[in-house]
Amino acid sequence: MRLQVYLARSGYGSRRKCEDLIREGRVRVNSFVATLGMKVTENDKVELDGHIVSKTDKKIYVMLNKPRDYLVSKGDERGRKTVFDLLTMDDDIKKSLFSVGRLDFDTTGLLLFTNDGLFAHKLAHPRGDIEKTYVAKIRGIINRPAMAKLRRGLRVPIKFGHRVGNYKTMPAKVRLMNKGKSFSMLEIVIKEGKKRQIRQMLKTVGFPVISLQRIQIANLSLGRLELGKWRYLKIICLHQCPKLIQVHLYQAVL
C-alpha cells in the first residue's frame, strides 16, 4: 500500500493532504524520512511528527467552541496557545485528531476535529457545497448597497502562500440581525473558507470587523456548548452530501 493511502486510511486527512505531509518531511518509516509514493505494510513503523501512526476503524468526531487568540495547529514555534491545548482527552486520542478546516487566530466559534479523512475531505472541500454560518459585529451602520455587494460576490485580496491574489468570492447570504449607534450585527453564510475571507469582504465594502464567530457548519451548530469547551459528536449517518449529516451530541469519555 502506498504511504499516502496508508496515512489517509489511518485518518490523517485526504490523500492530497497526506502527500503534503510526506513532502514536508514530517513522515518517517522505520525511522527513515519517507518519500512520496513509497510502499508500506502493516509491519512497518510509520511516524508522523514523531508520533506512531496506527490504523483504526474507530472514527472520532469532536466539536470545540474556539476562543480568541488560539492557533489552529498542533504546535507553535512562537509558543502561542493552540486549540489542541483545550482538548482535555487521552493523549493517544488527541494525537490521532486533526482539525477540519481552520479558524483565524482572532475568530471564535465552531471548530471540528476528527480522525476520519473522508469526512474531513467532504466537509472542507469547496465543491462540497457546505454552508458555514458566521455572526459578525462590524463597525458602522451597514447600508443596502454594501449588503447587495456581499450577496452578489466581490473581489477581495486573499493571501495564497506568500502572494496576495485578487479573489472573486461566491455569492453569500447576508442578514442584518441588529444594529446600535455605531455598529451592526450580521449573519453571513458562505460556502468557501479562504483565509480571513469574511474580514476582507466586510473591509472591502467599508465596514471592518470588530468580532467574528462561526456558529454552524452544515446542520452542526454550537448549541449550548460554552466557549473553550468541547464535546464528542456521534455521527449517525454521513450521506454522500454532508449537508444531510445527522448527529447526536453527547458528553462522553472514550
CATH topology of domain 3-52: 3.10.290
pTM: 0.74
Q: Is pLDDT larger for residue 237 or for residue 249?
A: 237
Quick check: is 76 catalytic?
no
Span 93-119, pLDDT tens digits: 888 888 988 899 999 999 999 887 767
- Is residue 122 over pLDDT 90? no
Q: Is pLDDT larger for residue 48 or for residue 30?
A: 30
Question: How confident is the model at residue 222, as a pLDDT?
Answer: 92
- What mean pLDDT is reported for the chain? 85
Q: Is pLDDT larger for residue 144 or for residue 127?
A: 144
- Is residue 66 over pLDDT 80? yes
- Is residue 240 over pLDDT 50? no
Q: Mean pLDDT, to the nearest integer, of 1-16? A: 79
pLDDT tier, 56 (very low <50, low <70, confident <90, very high otherwise) = low
Domain regions of the chain by residue span? 3-52, 61-126+218-250, 131-216
Question: How confident is the model at residue 116, as a pLDDT?
Answer: 79
Span 156-178, pLDDT tens digits: 988 777 777 889 999 999 999 99
| SS3 labels along 133-198 | EEEEEEECCCCHHHHHHHHHCCEEEEEECCEEEEEECCCCEEEEEEECCCEEEEEEEECCCCCCHH
Question: How confident is the model at residue 236, as a pLDDT?
Answer: 53
| Assigned CATH for 131-216 | 3.30.70.1560
Burial class of residue 244 (count of CB atoms within 10 Å of its CB; 0-12, 13-18, 19+): exposed
Question: How confident is the model at residue 253, as a pLDDT?
Answer: 32
Which one is catalytic: 104, 106, 116, 129?
104
Decide whether 61-126+218-250 matches 131-216 in CATH topology: yes
Question: How confident is the model at residue 197, as a pLDDT?
Answer: 93
CATH second-level architecture of 61-126+218-250?
2-Layer Sandwich (3.30)
